Amino acid sequence: SLDVDAIIAHADQYPKPAGVHFQYGTAGFRTRGDILESVVFRVGVLAALRSKKLDGKTIGVMITASHNPEHDNGVKLVDPRGEMLEAAWEIHATTLANAQTSQEFVQTVQTLISAANIDITKPANVVYARDTRPTGPALVAALELGLKAIGAQGRNEGVQTTPVLHYFVRCINSKGTKDSYGDDSVDGYMKKLSESFKSLVAGKTRPEPLIIDCANGVGAPTAEILVKYLGESIPLILHNTAISTKGALNYECGADYVKTQQRLPPSLNGVLKPGQRACSLDGDADRLIYYYLDERGHFHMLDGDKIAALVAAFIIDLVNLAGLSGDDFKVGVVQTAYANGSSTKYLADRMPVKCVPTGVKHLHHAAEHYSVGVYFEANGHGTVLFSPSAVEAMKSHKPSTPAQASALQHLINLTELINQTVGDALSDMLLVEVVLAHRSFTGAEWNSLYNDLPNRLVKVVVKDRNIFKTEDAERRLVSPVGLQEKVDELVRKYDGGRSFVRPSGTEDVVRVYAEATSRPQTDELALKVAQLVY
């Protein structure tokens, strides 16, 4: 049975800070990095329990705060197929993190063991990694003590991007099975991406150099390795790679900066030439935003919605060309309410589009319902999922012309290029580059697939964001009662107007989104809805 004394003795080394409430939210636990050690210790114990519950399957733990400031940090768990932790366990995580004392912590552990019917004699395996944040090493030490306290087997993967860690988890658990996902090493990841990329662009014109803003984060060392594997196949120029410069991470750079500021990272001023393509990763390299300057030097952003439009239309074409389309082979797209109305229209004219609440797990699960499910959040997080039966159909399909054969081979290569466990900025970047090469598109041509409606996102600090409750994939408020009707009344006054209000899952604020056909109208609508919320 459980070695209660050992757990208490170890837990005493990481007492919970008083007066703080931790919550396992949309992105795991996330707060200031210097108050997270007790949480991460306990996550070590929880990850081991999750592994035991799943018969010793390997669970992942990623220590990162993504696009958030350098002093923040966070931790999240990865389930055996490389996916986000099952929702029911998010609640267990919150309960364990908030136990006031070591004794109370052990009691909550014991309650969980009996409630979830966990056989604690089973083995426990956990693989973990961290991003480049200065608080990372101390948090890894706390995690390792948690694993030791419960006798779990840990595997330290050092500094890795979030999607590489997800990839490892899936590879480890599928090793030797018919669903084997790849080799569980950096070399395996790099070979998988670079070899499929090279096959997909074989015979295409080599593009102009692409600038990558690495957000001064973990994407930089990973991209440096990828550049070597890609060799001559694509010219990449890395910027913002200063991972040891204090305060540089995500500071005036990175995907979140570009998306929220809708402007070029200042460090690329004078570097990016008109017409040249550039992209930004976020601090853990799971988000991607593209952009370019036109001849007049005006900035144009190609966000997650534009990526979805580019990629989904390409995949539909390949599926048709390969002769795979039919009732049992459905390509669909999943978005959130933040998707630009023009992107939804563009996509819905071509394929089924579903809207789900914010957060990768919602998008991911909805995308699993299609043969090929494309999902992207406007913020640049997304990927493409190929269902097992779709992969089966591709493998057994007998092409009847050389054109069919080539489209089919492209689709099969895409299943290798795309990181299907979670959004992966580097894999998505290569995916975008493949489509641009096949379409012979410049950034401007890609941008012209549709014109974004002007949009505005506003943060409103309120007394209690928990009174804001939504329905219909967060597009409508049910509480406070009567507020949605007031929003509707305002929206009706604006040409092409759309607006919604939702509580943030990661910050203590309420977010207001608005779009309309003109910039001044959009700004006015956002402001007026925000005033309703105060």
d(CA 291, CA 447): 9
What's the start-to-end Cα distance of the chain, in Å?
Answer: 53
Q: Is 503 marked as a binding-site residue?
A: yes
d(CA 375, CA 398): 28
Q: What is the pattern of x (binds ligand 16G, CB under 6 A) and - over residues 90-129? A: ----------------------------------------
Q: Binding of ligand 16G at residue 506 (CB under 6 A)?
A: yes
Q: Is 294 marked as a binding-site residue?
A: no
Question: For residue 127, how far is the Cα from the chain centroid?
Answer: 19
| Total residues at interface with Zn ion (CB under 5 A) | 4
Q: Please answer whether residues 65 and 74 qualify as being in contact, where contact means their C-beta atoms are separated by less than 8 angstroms.
A: yes
Q: How many helices (H) and strands (E) does the chain have?
A: 18, 19
Catalytic residue among 38, 66, 194, 343: 66
Q: Is 464 marked as a binding-site residue?
A: no
CA atoms within 13 Å, Cβ hemisphere of 465 = 15
Q: Which pairing describes strands 210-213 and 278-281: parallel, antiparallel, or unpaired?
A: parallel
Angstrom distances, CA of residue 460 to CA of 127, 200, 230: 38, 46, 45
Q: Which stretch binds ligand 16G (CB under 6 A): 175-183, 353-361, 398-406, 514-522?
A: 353-361
**Nearer to ligand 16G (CB atom), residue 85 or residue 149:** 85
Q: Which of 26, 38, 58, 66 binds Zn ion (CB under 5 A)?
A: 66
**Nearer to Zn ion (CB atom), residue 284 or residue 303:** 284
What's phi and psi for 503, nearest 5 deg? -75, 140
Q: Which of 16, 26, 374, 447 binds ligand 16G (CB under 6 A)?
A: 26
Residue 94 contact among Zn ion, ligand 16G, none, beta carbon within 5 to 8 Å by kind: none
Nearest-CB residue to Zn ion? Answer: 66
Q: Please answer whether residues 84 and 364 qualify as being in contact, where contact means their C-beta atoms are separated by less than 8 angstroms.
A: yes
**Nearer to ligand 16G (CB atom), residue 9 or residue 467:** 467
Angstrom distances, CA of residue 199 to CA of 196, 233, 348, 441: 5, 10, 31, 19
Q: Binding of ligand 16G at residue 358 (CB under 6 A)?
A: yes
Q: Is 282 marked as a binding-site residue?
A: yes
What's phi and psi for 300, nearest 5 deg? -130, 130
d(CA 37, CA 152): 18
**Catalytic site includes residue 51:** no
Buried b (16+ CB within 10 A) or exposed e, 56-88: ebbbbbbbbbbbbebebbbbbbbbbebbbbeee
Q: Is 387 marked as a binding-site residue?
A: no
Strand partners, 455: 515
Strand partners, 301: 291
Q: Binding of ligand 16G at residue 504 (CB under 6 A)?
A: yes
**Nearer to Zn ion (CB atom), residue 288 or residue 453:** 288
Q: Please answer whether residues 60 and 127 qualify as being in contact, where contact means their C-beta atoms are separated by less than 8 angstroms.
A: yes
Q: Is 173 marked as a binding-site residue?
A: no
Minimum gap (Å) between residue 423 Cβ and ligand 16G: 8
Minimum gap (Å) between residue 66 Cβ and ligand 16G: 6
Conformation bin of residue 518: beta by default, left when phi > 0, alpha when psi is -120 to 50? beta
Q: Which of 108, 379, 420, 484 binds ligand 16G (CB under 6 A)?
A: 379
Angstrom distances, CA of residue 294 to CA of 233, 298, 479, 530: 26, 5, 44, 33
- Binding positions for ligand 16G, 382-421, rule CB under 6 A: none
Residue 284 contact among Zn ion, ligand 16G, none, beta carbon within 5 to 8 Å by kind: Zn ion
Q: Is 47 marked as a binding-site residue?
A: no
Q: Is 380 marked as a binding-site residue?
A: no
Residue 103 contact among Zn ion, ligand 16G, none, beta carbon within 5 to 8 Å by kind: none
Q: Which of 282, 303, 377, 433 binds Zn ion (CB under 5 A)?
A: 282
Q: Which of 310, 511, 526, 529 binds ligand 16G (CB under 6 A)?
A: 511
Q: Which stretch binds Zn ion (CB under 5 A): 129-137, 262-270, 281-289, 475-483?
A: 281-289
Instruction: Report the 10 Å Cβ neighbour count for 116.
Output: 14
Q: Binding of ligand 16G at residue 69 (CB under 6 A)?
A: no
Q: Binding of Zn ion at residue 70 (CB under 5 A)?
A: no
How many residues can be counted in the chain?
Answer: 534
Residues making contact with Zn ion (CB under 5 A): 66, 282, 284, 286
Residues with a known catalytic role: 66
Annotated binding site for Mg(2+): 66, 282, 284, 286
Residues making contact with ligand 16G (CB under 6 A): 26-27, 358-360, 377, 379, 381, 504-507, 511
Annotated binding site for substrate: 377-379, 502-506, 511
Annotated binding site: 66, 282, 284, 286, 377-379, 502-506, 511
